[in-house]
Amino acid sequence: MKPAPKTFHVKSFGCQMNVYDGERMAELMTAQGLTATTDAGEADLVVLNTCHIREKATDKVYSDIGRLRKGGRSPMIAVAGCVAQAEGEEIVARAKVDVVVGPQAYHNLPELVAKAAAGAPALDTDMPLASKFGHLPARRRVGPSAFLTVQEGCDKFCTYCVVPYTRGAEISRPFDAIVDEARALVDAGAREITLLGQNVNAWSDDARGLHDLIRAIDRIPGLARIRYTTSHPNDMTQGLIDAHGDVESLMPYLHLPVQSGSTGILKAMNRSHGRDDYLRLLDRVRAVRPDIALSGDFIVGFPGESERDFADTLSLVDAVGYAQAFSFKYSPRPGTPAATMADEVPAAIMDERLQRLQAALGRDQQAFNRASVGRTCTILVERPGKLPGQMLGKSPWLQSVHVIGPHAIGDLVEVELTAAGPVSLTGVARVSQAA
- Using CB under 6 A, which of 51, 84, 293, 417 touches ligand SF4? 51
Q: Is residue 233 within the footprint of ligand SF4 (CB under 6 A)?
A: no
Are the C-beta atoms of residues 379 and 412 closer than 8 Å to each other?
A: yes
* Residue placing its CB nearer to ligand SF4 in the complex, 108 or 336: 336
Q: What are phi and psi of 226, to 5 degrees?
A: -130, 135
Q: What are phi and psi of 75, to 5 degrees?
A: -65, 160
- Among 169, 103, 164, smallest CA distance to 136 is for 103
Residue count of the chain: 435
Q: Is residue 401 within the footprint of ligand 5AD (CB under 6 A)?
A: no
- Using CB under 6 A, which of 328, 354, 357, 379 touches ligand 5AD? 328
Angle at the Cα of 75 (from 70 to 78), degrees rounded to 5?
Answer: 110
Angle at the Cα of 210 (from 207 to 214), degrees rounded to 5?
Answer: 120
Q: Is residue 322 within the footprint of ligand 5AD (CB under 6 A)?
A: no
Which stretch, 206-214, 324-332, 349-357, 384-392, contacts ligand 5AD (CB under 6 A)? Answer: 324-332
- Using CB under 6 A, which of 50, 166, 259, 369 touches ligand 5AD? 259
* 160 interface partner picked from ligand 5AD, ligand SF4, none, CB below 5 to 8 A per type: ligand 5AD
Rg, Å, the chain Cα set: 22
CB atoms within 10 A of CB 273: 17
Q: Is residue 242 within the footprint of ligand 5AD (CB under 6 A)?
A: no
Q: Is residue 14 within the footprint of ligand SF4 (CB under 6 A)?
A: yes
- Residue 161 annotated as binding? yes
* Residue placing its CB nearer to ligand SF4 in the complex, 146 or 377: 146
First to last CA, the chain: 48
- Residue 377 annotated as binding? no
Give whole-number Cα distances, 304 to 54, 263, 317, 340, 345, in Å.
Answer: 19, 13, 20, 12, 7
Please report, to the nearest 10 degrees, the dihedral formed by the alpha carbons of residues 152, 156, 157, 161 taken in order: -50
* Residue placing its CB nearer to ligand SF4 in the complex, 228 or 310: 228
* Residue placing its CB nearer to ligand 5AD in the complex, 81 or 257: 257
* 257 interface partner picked from ligand 5AD, ligand SF4, none, CB below 5 to 8 A per type: ligand 5AD
Are the C-beta atoms of residues 18 and 57 closer than 8 Å to each other?
A: no
Q: Is residue 255 within the footprint of ligand SF4 (CB under 6 A)?
A: no
Instruction: Please report the DSSP string for 325-391 in residue order.
Output: EEEEE----TTSGGGG-S-PPPHHHHHHHHHHHHHHHHHHHHHHHHHHTT-EEEEEEEEE-SSTTEE
Q: Is residue 153 within the footprint of ligand SF4 (CB under 6 A)?
A: no
* Residue placing its CB nearer to ligand 5AD in the complex, 144 or 257: 257
* 232 interface partner picked from ligand 5AD, ligand SF4, none, CB below 5 to 8 A per type: none
Are the C-beta atoms of residues 191 and 410 closer than 8 Å to each other?
A: yes
Which stretch, 68-76, 159-167, 370-378, 426-434, contacts ligand SF4 (CB under 6 A)? Answer: 159-167
Supply the minimum distance, in Å, between the C-beta of residue 260 and ligand 5AD.
10
Q: Is residue 160 within the footprint of ligand 5AD (CB under 6 A)?
A: yes
Q: How many residues bind ligand 5AD (CB under 6 A)?
A: 12
d(CA 238, CA 34): 47
Pick out the residues of the known binding site for [4Fe-4S] cluster.
15, 51, 82, 154, 158, 161
- Residue ranges for the known binding site are 15, 51, 82, 154, 158, 161
Using CB under 6 A, list all residues that contact ligand 5AD.
53-54, 160-161, 257, 259, 297, 299, 328, 330-331, 333
